[in-house]
Chain A
Amino acid sequence: MSAVAVEVRPPLWRRLIGFNALTAVVFGIGGYYLGWFIGHHINGASVAYLGVGGIDQNDLSVFLGYFLGVAGFLIGMGFGVYPWARLRGYPPSLREKEQQGVGRYFGLCTDHKVVGIQYLCGIGLFFFIGGLNAMLIRVELLSPARQVFPAGQYLTLVGMHGTMMMGIMSSAILGPFANYFVPLMIGARRMAFPRIESLTFWLLMAGGAILTTTIFFGGFPTGWTGYQPLNDQANTGMDSYIVFFALVGISMCLLGLNMIATIVTMRAPGLTWSRLPIFCWGVLSTAVLQLLAAPVLIAVLGMAMLDRTAQTTFFIPSGGGSPYLYQNLFWVFGHPEVYILALPGFAIVLELLPVFARKPLWGYRLAVAGMLGVTLLSWLVWQHHLFMSGINSNLRPFYMLSTELISIPTGFTFLCGLMTLWRGQIRFTVPMLFCLAWFFNFLIGGLSGVFLSDVPSDVTTHGSFFSMAHFHYTIMGGLVFTFFAAIYYWIPKMTGFQLNERLGKIHFWVMFIAFNSTFAPLFAAGFLGQARRDVTYPAHLQFINDWVSISAFVLGASMLVFLYNFVHSLLFARIKAPVNPWSSLSIEWQLPSPVPVHNFDQIPVFTSDPYGYGEPSRPSALPAASPAGGSS
């Protein structure tokens, strides 16, 4: 490894050949056309033979194109190399592909810290695209009557925004931060499955690209839920939705699996379950949900795909199928999914509060119980999305109860968070501000959720902008705010450079105020009768909508402040961050920034949890700072 420094670098063109992102894209496009070609031939022949369907409906070609495209992409990235080597009898190797330089960010890399940064940038890219869609939606809604976008394009925007956000942001915390910090926090040198770790990232990127290509196929009209039978009616743009979400499902499932395996099996000596940082508990609960919920999604999308290509009738009433089946399966996945988005937020808040309140986490066990309780209960509530659908109406009291029961474990998180602040020494740093905003946002999100879980109130609010405002308060207010908290908190460790604090504060205040000014009025709009996913709305609601749109543009602008801060601080200003700028007791802050490739020279031995603020000082892990030394 020490030879790296003296190696003569080959010319650029030579370095571009090999398994990397460029090859992957080329192979991906090639695979797409191959699949499309095969599909067209199968479809044409079978149509001629069976005399059914229509040749113009070539969903099969699109699906095969996407599948072979993804396969080509992964092969080009180099995911075939190791399995192939093993097949030829080479011995197993746990890690490889850990070269230096920027090149490693554009390929298969088994260093969990590289994957973390890849995730951060990749998710940022698609979050930006999803955000742009939101801005365009708000442009359209400036006027109830004048249409900027045709109705079909508008639905595509809504659907792309929702699907992109739900799909990509499911990994918003686990992808960048759990991949980077869980191994450090548990004193490990890697994740349990380093290649799968990289695979989850590239699958997500392939998915995001595929969803974006829906615009070439006419978009899709169903929103992020993809309800049948509309799904089956829709043109080939729907296939992008199906393939995207299935890839996200596979990525999520593997990500969850990897996290569980890592946290369960790779903890350093002394790191008992009751010393595990609360962040890891949150990751673990989320991972359980991901592992178990994503397969349901993949299955239901597979059935939808068969309905669209092989002419099965799982969801087609006239063929004996049932749209209820789709709704049920979708929400069996869908409700855990919303907690996949919410739980990492809890975890970040509870992890950061002790650092900035300079107090131990209050009620550690209760906080853990809260997260596990949410994990369990979130399986029992899915039909609260179907209160008006006429399915199992006699079971509605049960779903009402189970949904409201979730507020109990969620309340634990609130109690533990609030009591950690109580009598603390609070420092209002940028990450802390984002965490504190979580309390406000999630409070509103949670209380509005109680309206939606109460059947009589849900009759008024279901399918209206009220529910739209509700889930933005929980997801945007609960997840995206903590996502930024995590960025501001951990970027100094991940890159070794400081973010500008002033700009961070400006970002926070603009975002917080604009966020509330965007979504709070939408509760009123919903109550006043504005339905979701509508290109028009009653004329008397124009004032509210204009207000909301303008606030949304400010909200979008606050993201640009962040982007500027991020790019400028990390690429141009490059002010070295102290090793432990927050004086945190957590182990990752005792390592140098950025963390060396193999993390620890000597695996640490844990003696307590990382929350011993104000307690007689003793290191929580021995040897406290034992990074991999020297050159790596």
Chain B
Amino acid sequence: MAPPAVTPASPSVAHGKRFLIAWIVLSAIATPLVAIFLGPAIPPGNDSVQASEQVFSNTVMVSISTPVCVFVLLFLLYVFASFRSRGSALVDGPPIRGDARIQLIWMVVTSATVLFLAGFGTYELLKSGSGGGQGPNAAFQPAGYKRALDVQVIGQQWEFTYRYPTYGGVEVPHLVLPADTLIRLHVTSLDAIHSFWAYQLGVKADANPGVDNIVYVETKGPLQFDIHCAELCGLWHGYMFDTGHVVGASTFAAWIKRQQSYFEPVMRYLPPYATNYLPDPSRRAG
């Protein structure tokens, strides 16, 4: 193979400077647009305090992603336009094997971004757990958590039921929550692992048998929300959904009273309220 011709490493146009300026300008335009228009449009919406926190987190994530995305895409486009090999002769590029300064800058910038992201995520998490399941010893408690209303979510193949320990442990088939209240959900399961996903509330917590998975959510105004199982739990997993409601305080009081009297005859047969349950061993390998 004949040695290919070598282009002199021409100092040439200030490609680097040109690219950087284009990147900064484009990012400066795109990032605010994304932050203002795209970010807040990202679900789950603003129907609970935790959902709003997630929208904020998602907004920060897309906003930070924007300049990164612009950088790589612009770089590729620039390179395709400027550095394609023209003609059929085989020509080598300049033998540049690295540049310590660029490497250093890159490391500093990526590290700073990453540390910022981790710090930001932790800060957001500390507020109230951001609607994620926190296990039995929830550490990320919102202010006033002592007065939160306890509600238990019990997953089983293939439905969720809900118990209200404050109201005599009554167990109901559909979730209703009072508006403008801090709720402490205790998520558990009777068999396989499920995941309780209340979409508009921004709540997701796995239901493990024998585990009390606590999650805090602060409701806002009246709302109808979708509930879905988000962890594969067997045959009818796809049909494990439900609709829940957030209602005003007086409606809630009336509703829970009705449930108590309605389910009164059944309550005698239910096991006493506990924060978790173990699967029935006779259902093993069913």
Contacts and interface: CB of A to CB of B under 8 A. Distances in A.
Interface of A: 53-54, 57, 151-152, 154-155, 221-223, 225, 227-230, 232-233, 308, 316-319, 322-324, 357-366, 386-394, 396-397, 400-401, 404-405, 407-408, 411-412, 414-415, 418-419, 421-428, 436, 439-440, 443, 447, 450-451, 453-460, 462-464, 527-529, 531-536, 538, 580, 583, 611-615, 617
B152 interface: no
Interface string B65-95: 1001100110110011001110000111111
Contacts, number: 319
B158 to A, nearest CB: 10
A363 B84 CA distance: 21
Interface of B: 1, 3-4, 6-7, 9, 15, 42-44, 50, 53-54, 56-58, 61, 64-65, 68-69, 72-73, 75-76, 79-80, 83-85, 90-99, 102-103, 106-107, 110-111, 114, 117-118, 120-122, 124-125, 129-140, 187, 191-193, 195, 197, 199, 202-206, 208-211, 213-214, 226, 228-239, 278-281, 283-286
Contact of A415 (B103, B133, B203, B278): B103
Contacts of B235: 151-152, 155, 221
B121 A454 contact: yes
Q: Which are the 10 A-B pairs with shortest beta-carbon distances?
A: A617-B3, A390-B213, A390-B135, A614-B92, A463-B230, A535-B238, A456-B130, A456-B57, A359-B93, A614-B95
B197 to A, nearest CB: 7
A404 B68 CA distance: 15
B7 A387 contact: no
B68 A447 contact: yes
Given A152-B235, A397-B118, A425-B85, A233 B286 contact: yes
A396 B131 CA distance: 14
A318 B285 contact: no
B259 to A, nearest CB: 27
A394 B122 CA distance: 10
Contacts of B280: 318
A397 to B, nearest CB: 4
Contact of B133 (A53, A389, A412, A457): A389
A415 B213 contact: no
Nearest to A583: B90
A407 to B, nearest CB: 6
Contacts of A322: 210
Contacts of A615: 6, 95
B95 A459 contact: no
A457 B283 CA distance: 36
Contacts of A612: 95
Contacts of A419: 96, 98-99, 102
A517 to B, nearest CB: 17
A316 B285 CA distance: 11
